[in-house]
Amino acid sequence: MSPKKRLDPRLVSLTAAGSFAAEQYQGLRLTLERLGNGRGAQALAVTSPAAGDGKTVTAINLAGTLARGSEARVLLVDADLRRPAVGSQLRMDASARGLTDVLTDDRTTLDDVTTLLEQFNLSVVPAGTGHGAVHQMLRSARFERLLKEARERYDFIVLDTPPLLPVYDSALLAKSLDGVLMVVSANRTPRKLLGEALNLLDAGKVLGIVFNRDGRPLFGYYDSYYREYFPTASVSEA
């Protein structure tokens, strides 16, 4: 990976850890740590109703925050196999092996596709170069074994997953994970779209809604505009 100065400045947990913007992710980190000590929140999906809501930036910032200044072992996985972006956001080699290679080649291991970003204490599995039907790969016994191995080796696993509409990869993945964070673009994502996305998930899996691009100084704030659709949604405990 290239030096920090070449990273997207929106990746504040990696590029400006002491900034106010980065500090907002600490609230989400504390929430997840509390959940981890309670009902369990080790393996998490980050998704959104549609493209452009900022889910990948949120997933990277969350993973970076969980790893920063702690002894936690954190794994960030690009599970958006249709439009992967984690590797490019982190300036990783486009030819790097990743999730699809593990899922399509029995000889490839988790170690083979994991890159440790030592300066951030963060391990990353990009989407990879393998090819196959996405639903078949995500439904495979090999994916379940990979997730089991990751659970044994990492304290937190953050998966950047596709938007819920119009594909259903995230809903499929959610069945194997401990929870889902829904990223919406404040004052931009229509509540109808959010409602349709939430209806695709088991309500018990949704840990909360993360508001992105919200100019107000309250991370995760939500009002009656969204409460109609998801009364318990926030980035506090759901």
Q: Which residues pair with 238 in a beta bridge?
A: none
What is the C-alpha to C-alpha distance for residues 208 and 182, in angstroms, rounded to an integer? 6
pLDDT at 238: 29
pLDDT at position 212: 75
How far apart, in whole angstroms, are the C-alpha atoms of residue 117 and residue 192? 39
Q: Which CATH class is domain 4-227?
A: alpha beta
First to last CA, the chain: 36
pLDDT value at position 214?
54
Element (H, E) at 36: helix 20-37
pLDDT of 237 reads 30
pLDDT value, residue 190: 84
pLDDT in 10s for each residue of the chain, 238 residues: 544 448 888 899 999 888 887 888 888 888 777 766 655 789 999 999 988 888 999 999 999 999 987 788 999 999 999 999 999 999 999 899 999 999 999 999 999 999 999 999 999 999 999 988 998 999 999 999 999 999 999 999 999 999 998 788 999 999 999 999 999 987 778 888 888 998 988 888 888 888 876 544 333 433 333 333 333 333 333 2
Quick one: pLDDT at residue 218? 37
> How confident is the model at residue 23, as a pLDDT?
81
- Residue in the structure block whose two tokens are 């409460």: 227
Which distant-in-sequence residues (6+ apart) come within 8 Å of 42 by Cβ?
36, 151, 154, 155, 156, 157, 178
Q: What is the pLDDT of residue 232?
A: 32
Name the token pair of 118.
Answer: 């030592």
**pLDDT reported for residue 96:** 94
Q: Give the E-state strand segments of the chain in sequence order.
A: 43-47, 74-78, 115-117, 122-125, 156-160, 179-185, 206-212
